Each structure stands twice: as C-alpha cells, then as structure tokens.
A and B are shown apart, each in its own frame.
Chain A
C-alpha cells in the first residue's frame, strides 16, 4: 500500500507490526519532457542528480552524491549517476540506499535533494517522482510526485529523521535553484 504524500506530510517508518525498518531506498525517477521543435517530437536529455545530506544537530556531516557514492560509514549508498533519466518506464533512475541501523548515532537527519545538473528546469521534466521503498521486501511506502514542475532547477524532496528509537520521513517538496546540493544548503537549513 502506497501513501501518496503531500508537502509537509510526515509518516513514521514503523512497520504495521511495530518492528522498525532496517533499510530504505529513496528512489528518483524522471523522464525528459518532449519538446515540439523543428523535427517534431524530440526529447532532450536531462541529467537529474539525487543527493543525500547527513546532518548531526543541524550541521552537515557527510554527503552522498554522484561524486561520493558511499558515506564514510557505509550506511548511505548512492547507486550511481544516471545522466539521461529513464525512458519513462517508471523505475528508479537514481537511488540512495539507507541502512538505518548502521547510520552513526550522531546523525539525526538525512535530507534528500534533486538537482538538475544540465540546467533544464523541472518544467522540462516529466513524470518525476521520489519514492521511499522498504528495501527488505521491496514495498513502496511513500511516493511524492514532482507535480507542476516550474521554473526551478532543484528540489528538496524529503527528510528522514530520528523519532524516539525509530525513524520518520517528512515530505518537504521545497523548490530551489542550483546545480549541485551545495547550492541548496541555505534552502535546506530552515527545514531541519
């Protein structure tokens, strides 16, 4: 069962039987929007990049992105850069795997962001989504659709943060501008 999340909505990452999750995957998928140009329908390649920033007490400690695919402690892994997006098949084009049990104790928030590396705005992207999957059984727990893509080049998708002994996910969906996650830091900070 998938929860379609809206901006600011929070869900707890507890399973229905009370056991907490051990591994989640934040998947990002997109498709280049077709443009009507001289040669009719032609899609231009768009490179979106998913990143995860690890915070301890509101200070960035580590980041996982296409140039640093594994956090130093090994708990957060990026599956690799996809330069062109999917053919619209609905699968994840980039994914960040989080082993929640191995996240170091001082990390209390992990923020997921999406940037357009090639500079196209999200108006040119179609079917972009970010979803959270329980990695142990492959079930999708939450999906957030980048609806109404506007004239911005980045988005802060969601964060997972510690809540009691478990973890919780909050959808953020804040538009921003920037080529890589560094440009987003000022926009991220208010959401911590």
Chain B
C-alpha cells in the first residue's frame, strides 16, 4: 500500500534496497547527498550527481530528464551516513525554466525493487526555488525511514550544498551544472557508458583495476568537462596542479617489500598524501592484527573441539590413543599460531619501518610535540586538513604508534574524561586529583595545537573555568595572549561566555540559512570558536546546561565547537538529559585508555593524549610565535 506523504510526514521503509522515481514536467537534475549524524556532508564526495553518478549504495542518472529512477542500497552506504537527501534542481544555462514555480509540482515515489510502491510525495508549494530537497531517507535507531521534506532553495544547488556544510559548494554546483549542460547538449540522450561504474578502490591509494582498464570519466571539481555552453570556471583561476609525487622507492632486492617512502599515497599536496598514508597505515595495522587474531581464535576453537571430541568418546577417553590425539591437537594449534605470528611480525615490521620514515616527514599539525618540526614552527597561512589528536596503539605492537588525525574544521566536539568511568589500569594508578590535572593539561595541549595550526585570527579560544581550578594549566594560554579573555569564573562568568557564543551561533546560523552572510554585524568574530568547559557541571544551572546543549548541537555547523573537561558521574544529577551531549562528543582520556574503535574491524585501540614531554618548553615557544604574528598583523 502506498503512503501518500505530506510535507514533514515520515514513513518506515520495509527494505533497504529501493528505487526512487521522480517525475517532473520539465527536465530536472536529480541527485542525492549523504549527511552524517550532524546533518552535514563530510566532503564533496558525499554527493551523487550527474558528473559523479555512482557512490557505494547510490546511483543517480547522468543527465537532466523529466523522469528519473534512482537506485539506493541503504546497507551499502558508509556507516557514517545517517541521512540521504534526494534533491532536485533545475539545470541552468540551457534555456529551461528557472524556478520550480513555472511548471507543475514534481512527484517523487519510493518503490521496492520489483516496482511496488512504498511512499510517494508531491512536492507542492514551490515558487522561486531552483533547487529542492524532496525526500530524506534517514536512520533512526537502526531503522531507515523516509520523510517528505520539500525544502526549496532560491539560491539553487550552491545554496543547498552550502546549507549542508560543504565549503566548496559553489565549485561543486558549477561542476554539476556543467555536466548537465554537456549532457543536454548531446542530441540523443545516450545510455550511460558501462565504464563509469562505481568500482572505486575502498580507500585512497589502493590500485583500481577498472581505472587502469578504461579511461575514467572526467569529473570532480578539479577537471570540469569543457564542452558545456557556459564555463563557470574563473577565467584566470586554474586548479592548482598537483605537487609532484615523491621519487619512487629504490628498487628493492627481489623477494623483499619495497622500502617505505613518506608521502607514498595519492593526494594533491604533500599534506594530503601524508594524511592518506597515515590512514592507510591505520587501516593496514587494523587489518593485519585482525588477520592474526582471527587465526589465533580459530586455532583455539579448533583445539577445543578436537579435545572435546577425544573426551566425548568413552573408548578413546584414556589411554595412549587419547594422549596422541591430544598431543596432535595441541601441535596443530601451535603450528597455526606460529605461522600466524610469523606473518604478523612480517607485516608489522613493515609498518614500523614505514612509520619510521613517515613520522619525521609530518607537518606540524600531524606531528607529535617532540617532533623537531615544532621547533621550526611558523604561523601557517591556511588551515591544515587535519590535526593530530593523539596516538593510537594496539597491544600486539605497542611501540607502533599510529597518529590519530581528525579533519579540520572539527565536525564534533571533544570530551576529555577526567573521571574513572573508563576503568583502565592507568587511570586506577593515578589519583583522582592527578587525573584532573592531566585532563586540564590535555585540554591545554589540544587547544594550543588548534591555536597554532590555524592562521592568525582564524581561531578564537573561550574558556569557562567556574572554580578557577585549571588556572595553573591555563597559564601558557593566558600569558601568550592565545586566550584573549580571561576564563569565565563563577556562575556569572559561565552565563556571560555562553550567552556570547549562543548569540554567535544564532546569528551565523540565521545568516547562512537566509543567505545573508554579508549582513552579519561587523563586530562579530567570524573565526572558528572553541569553548573549553572545565570542571563541568560546576557553576552550571539548568539554563546554562540548556545553552551548552544548544551550542553542542548547532555549533559545529557554524564553526563553534566544545571541548568539555568533565567527569560524567559528577553530572549525573542532570539525569539522562545530558546523554545526547556525551554521545555527540568524541571521548578522549588524559591517560592511555583502550576505548577507541577503528572504522574497519572495530579493535579497541589505546588512545594516548598529545601531552608535552616533561620539561619541554615547546608550547610556550609556539604560542609566543603566534602572539608575535598577531602583533605583526596589526591586531591584538
């Protein structure tokens, strides 16, 4: 039975492989964007559009048409995807209508693979809009549902993509428009060539067999098709040519793996290559250890089964035959485990060698505090792509530290757990006062890193320290001027800082939604904001907690992030209202603790915070250089 949805209504989806049919009176572009749980597109790859029609689990048409069929396999989508927005847009520059108000309301239907309808929606009430999010398929408590949205954008695709948090919305919208224009310019709508399948490598850097066999379709912001009637490319602006790749490794003697080289991954800049390489190493280590653990588990279970079999037969339970069978089972176990550890040592040895060349080559934002690159620190001119939040290790090889890199700008806040809820050995060894001190130190180390890797005046720190208990840890930030306003102290200080940031979130959000970013008040600080809340919930009343939750929910989309230093148990008086807050934050610990899971296999990785080595003056030095640069720019 079909559910005819009205705007805002939702409907459960019976299965995960679906087709979405679109019919409109005029040719429209149909596409789909993927959003994470914050409703943001992670990057420009999270959209299926005519120039890039296939993503894992998603396929859209290659051209504008009055009828579309989109294929969706919700199970094949990346885990991080929580929402699929089905969007319609009017092609520009081809002489068609320029707003949805000019022709009858488009109709979209969700159907099963056999064509039986599930839900349908007529996108009514559109006027001057030229792009519209028609439906969203979203994940709610593990179940996928569809909702009729009908959110239109008079600013077209660019405004829509920007609304979903994509900084390169303009370029992407231009790419899509060019691809559509190129498609419409063809006299006959050709069938999509079979070469453009979605068989991309699972991770950057892996070899793609299809790319070698067939010419890849020209797509992506870097190389827009040139055949469209209108070029949206700025005439004097060319995409930056990729930096040359590092020289290939010296041919290794036959039989041994090639010597590792730093930057041995794909990317447009050295930083991007190193970032991809670090993630490849992370994945390789996760998978290598998974292979070892599964082999050992299998050997264990097989030995148990074989021993059980010997015991279960009364005739063979005792005597020399049984002993021989037991010995044989144990020997088989030992052989398999031995083989598995040989392979593990070989693979981890290679990763250790790779780590040894990669670590010294890392830029400051990716490097540990003890890396010499921090001694030669210069204030950067642009925001780096990622930041090292600490190190990750597995017990199989605890000297192999994988940098934990998170993308900038941060897409979620951080929570430094100053409590013992993790229950790790390390947190039991240090006293609770020591744990609190380390938590404050970790917060300062991360804040200092963020201040240092952003260009001058692109990053503002705010601190709430109601009891003043982090005063000693905050000294380097205050002395160097990295922290411009003194920490908010007491209930009034809490309210003042929160009110300021709530206003900042409100204003920027309103401006972005209405497309009026130029009418923001001139005294508004447009820099990325980080709010450090020390000793939560000390000094917070109900209203302040509500404001904090608002900032946590709405802030990341407009560049305001939280860094909480808190013990979850102390906030229990607020009951379950704070649970979404903890879940929205990335939990890290001031002492090594194995609580972070990798995205591929789900091992429990031990996280180590980016603390400064004892006695090192690197943080004050770096912050001093930031302060000098600020003065040189003529601002405080």
A residues adjacent to B (C-beta < 8 A): 25, 47, 56-57, 59, 61-62, 66-67, 69-70, 72-75, 77, 79-83, 86-87, 89, 91-95, 97, 102-106, 118, 133, 135, 138
In the bound complex, CA of A25 to CA of B199 (Å): 13
- Evaluate contact between A73 and B56: CB separation under 8 angstroms: no
Interface residues of B in 111-169 (CB under 8 A from A): 113
| With contact pairs A69-B56, A86-B194 given, residues A105 and B209 touching in the complex (Cβ less than 8 Å) | no
Q: Which residues of A contact B283 (CB under 8 A)?
A: 74
Q: Which residues of B contact A106 (CB under 8 A)?
A: 294-295, 298-299, 336, 340
Q: Which residues of A contact B199 (CB under 8 A)?
A: 79-80, 82, 94-95
Apart from A73-B287, A77-B206, A106-B295: 17 A-B pairs, beta carbons within 8 A:
A25-B209, A56-B298, A70-B287, A72-B287, A74-B283, A75-B287, A79-B210, A89-B195, A91-B210, A92-B209, A97-B209, A104-B291, A104-B292, A104-B294, A104-B343, A105-B343, A133-B209
In this complex, how many residues of chain B approach chain A with their Cβ under 8 Å: the count is 44
**At the interface with chain A, which of B70-78, B321-329, B385-393, B535-543?**
B70-78
Q: Count contacts between A and B, CB distance < 8 Å.
A: 111
Interface residues of B in 59-96 (CB under 8 A from A): 59, 71, 73, 75-76
Q: Which residues of A contact B26 (CB under 8 A)?
A: none
| With contact pairs A61-B294, A80-B56 given, residues A74 and B197 touching in the complex (Cβ less than 8 Å) | no
- Evaluate contact between A81 and B76: CB separation under 8 angstroms: yes
- Evaluate contact between B113 and A118: CB separation under 8 angstroms: yes
| With contact pairs A89-B194, A91-B213, A106-B298 given, residues A66 and B73 touching in the complex (Cβ less than 8 Å) | yes
Which one of B75, B193, B290, B339 contacts A74 once the chains associate, using CB atoms below 8 Å? B290
Residue B212 interfacial (CB < 8 Å): yes
Q: Which residues of B contact A69 (CB under 8 A)?
A: 56, 76, 202
In the bound complex, CA of A62 to CA of B202 (Å): 18
| With contact pairs A67-B76, A83-B71 given, residues A104 and B284 touching in the complex (Cβ less than 8 Å) | no
Q: From residue B328, how far is it (CB to closest CB) to chain A in Å? A: 14
Q: Which of A75, A77, A104 has the most CB of B within 10 A?
A: A104
Interface residues of B in 22-49 (CB under 8 A from A): none
Residue B198 interfacial (CB < 8 Å): yes
- Evaluate contact between B294 and A138: CB separation under 8 angstroms: no
Q: Which residues of A contact B207 (CB under 8 A)?
A: 135
Which one of B195, B209, B295 contacts A79 once the chains associate, using CB atoms below 8 Å? B209
Which one of B197, B202, B213 contacts A138 once the chains associate, using CB atoms below 8 Å? B213
Q: Which residues of A contact B209 (CB under 8 A)?
A: 25, 79, 92, 95, 97, 133, 135, 138
- Evaluate contact between B59 and A73: CB separation under 8 angstroms: no
Query: Of all chain A residues, which has the CB nearest B347?
Result: A102
- Evaluate contact between A75 and B76: CB separation under 8 angstroms: no
Top 10 closest A-B pairs, CB basis?
A74-B287, A73-B291, A79-B199, A104-B291, A105-B339, A106-B295, A106-B298, A72-B290, A87-B194, A86-B194
Q: From residue A30, how far is it (CB to closest CB) to chain B in Å? A: 11
Q: Which residues of A contact B113 (CB under 8 A)?
A: 47, 118
Residue B601 interfacial (CB < 8 Å): yes
Q: From residue A74, how far is it (CB to closest CB) to chain B in Å? A: 3
Query: Of all chain A residues, which has the CB nearest B197?
Result: A82
Residue B624 interfacial (CB < 8 Å): no
- Evaluate contact between A73 and B294: CB separation under 8 angstroms: yes
In the bound complex, CA of A83 to CA of B59 (Å): 9
Q: From residue B321, how far is it (CB to closest CB) to chain A in Å? A: 22
Interface residues of B in 314-357 (CB under 8 A from A): 336, 339-340, 343, 347
